[in-house]
Amino acid sequence: MRDVAIIGTGCTKFGELWDRSLRDLFVEAGVSAIVDAGIQGEEIDGLYMGNMSGGRFVEQEHVGSLIADYSGLASELHVPATRVEAACASGGLALRQGILAVASGYADIIVAAGGEKMTDVDLDTATDALAAAADREWEGIMGATFPGLYAMIARLHMHKYGTTSEQLAAVSVKNHHNGTMNPIAQFRNEITIDTVLRSNMVAEPLHMFDCSPISDGAAAVVLAPADVAKKYTDTPVYVKATTQASSPISLHDRADITTLDASVVAGQRAYKMAGLTPDDIDIVEVHDCFTIAEICAIEDLGFFKKGDGGRASEDGETAIGSSIPVNTSGGLKACGHPVGATGIKQAVVITEQLRGTAGKSQVDGAGIGMTHNVGGSGGTAVVHIFSRDR
C-alpha cells in the first residue's frame, strides 16, 4: 500500500442553485479541483462520485457516465467513472474508494467528487427521498422521517444526560456563526438561541433550525501518490487514515440509541490507523445533519465523554479558538447539505485549513484534521484523518 495525498480541491457554492443542473455542479467542482492540482485530463486514471439519489431528485441514474462525459473525459479518454452510494455518506465513501485505488497502485491520479441536486423537487418528495436512507419496510412505512429518527435520538439523549433544547440550539448558533465566514455557505447569517427555539417544530424536540437544509452543490478533490505529490503542489495534504464502519440500518436495532456505534468504531479504527488519539486532532468536520448529530459525533469520536456534548457545545468548547474547533465551515447546518457532496466538502474544508488558506475561519497552526460523514441514522460512518506533514 502507498501513502496518498490530496493535491487539489474544488467546490461550488452550496444553496438553492436553480440555474444549474447536477452535471453543471459536478463539472464546476471537478474542473476547479483539476485546475487547483495543475493536472491534465490525460493524467486522470479514474473518477469516483458520491451521489445519493440522482434517481429521486433529478430522475437521473448512471451519474458516473454522465459526469465523465460532460467533464470531457469520456469520448476520447474513456476515463473509468464509478458512482458510490451510501446515503448521506456517499461523498465520504467516494473519497475512500479513490484513496484505496491510489493506495493499491492500480491508479495514480484519481478525482473523488460528490454532488447532489435536491431543490428540483418539492419538500415532501425530498423528505421521502431522504427517508430512503432508513429501512423503508420497517421505519419509513411507519411514518418515520429523518428528522423524526434524529428527534428520537435527541429525546433519549435529553432523558439520559439532561441535554437541553438550548444546548441543541447552541450547535446551530455556532455553525451559523462559522458559516458567516465561509463564502460558499448556503446560510451566512448569525442566529440566536431564540431563533432556533422559535422556529417551527419539525419533529419534537427538533425545530427547523436544528435541521440541515435541502441544498444543491458539488465538491471534488484530486488524489495522488504521496511520493509524487510535491511535483504538483507545494502544499499537499496527506491521508493518515481512511476508515468505515457499518451498523444496523434501523435506529431501533442499535444497542444504544444515543450512540452511533458506526461512528465510534470508524473513529477508533482511524485513530489506530493513524497512530493518533483524539487529543492529537486540531480540527474536525463532523456530520451535523441535525444539532443532536453533532453532539453525538463529538462524543462518539472521543472528544467529549458520552452525555457531555450538549454542555460542551453550550460552553463554547467546540468554537473556533477552543481546543477542538468543530465544523469551521458552518457544517451541514449552515454551509448546506447536498447529501452526496458533503463528505467531499468536508475534505476540501480540512485541506484548506491544513494548507492555511481557510480565510477568516482559519484555525492557527492546524496540522491534523478529521472528517466524519454519516449515512442515514448511523448505518454507515466514514472517517478520515489528514495531516499537513507526511
Q: Which residues bind other proteins (CB under 8 A)?
A: 123-125, 127-128, 131, 135-145, 147-148, 151-153, 155-156, 159, 200-206, 250-253, 257
Cβ proximity to other proteins, 246 vs 268, nearer residue:
246
- Residue 369 CA to residue 276 CA, distance in Å, equals 11
What is the smallest separation between the CB atom of 149 and other proteins, expressed in angstroms? 8
Least Cα distance to 90 among 114, 111, 68 occurs for 114
Q: Is 240 helix (H, G, I), strand (E, B) or coil?
A: strand
Neighbours of 206 (CB within 10 A): 25
Q: What are phi and psi of 49, to 5 degrees?
A: -130, 120
What's the grid cell of residue 123? 419538500
Q: CA torsion, points 34, 339, 363, 233, in degrees to nearest 10?
A: -10
- Residue 287 CA to residue 110 CA, distance in Å, equals 24
Residues in the chain: 390
- Residue 353 CA to residue 262 CA, distance in Å, equals 26
What is the smallest separation between the CB atom of 268 and other proteins, expressed in angstroms? 20
The residues assigned a catalytic role are: 88, 337
Q: Is 47 helix (H, G, I), strand (E, B) or coil?
A: strand
Which residues are registered as beta bridge partners of 11? 219
Cβ proximity to other proteins, 161 vs 386, nearer residue:
161
Cβ proximity to other proteins, 237 vs 289, nearer residue:
289
